[in-house]
Amino acid sequence: MSASPDTFFTRSGSSPPPVFTTIPREQIPAVIALLAARLIEPEPKRDDRSDEPDPLLTADEVAERLGASRPWVYRHADALGVIRLTRKKLRFSQAEVERYLRRRRSHG
């Protein structure tokens, strides 16, 4: 089944199957303009504070920031924003570690 040049492909939400809508020939330039505007529109920011991705820290870097031992960091990994790359290889969200430090300072 082939679509005519006047047929515009849209999806209803994210669920297949695709829905085809026929666009009157005189509206095609307006649809093209709308799609072009969407393409050049900047993506919304994930976080107003920064466009930078959250750096990942090693257990040694976290231990140094907290003044703790590496084994202590591993024992408290879940509270520190751990990201498990493998069973033995952990990284920590810098933002979560900083959040942990702020909570610890505010609670004495």
Q: Which residues contact 90 (CB under 8 A, 6 or more apart)?
A: 59, 74, 77, 82, 83, 84
Question: Which strand ranges, in their side-by-side order, compose the sheet holding 56-57?
Answer: 56-57, 90-93, 82-84
Model pLDDT, residue 33:
79
State the DSSP H helix or E strand holding residue 82, giving kind and residue range, or none if neither.
strand 82-84
Model pLDDT, residue 105:
86
Q: Which residues contact 10 (CB under 8 A, 6 or more apart)?
A: 18, 19, 20, 21
Q: Are 30 and 41 in contact (CB under 8 A)?
A: no
Gap between the Cα atoms of 65 and 97, Å rounded: 9
- pTM here is 0.51
> If pLDDT is split at 50, 70 and 90, which confidence band does 22 have?
confident
pLDDT 10s digits, 48-102: 555 678 899 999 999 999 999 999 999 999 889 898 888 888 999 999 999 999 8
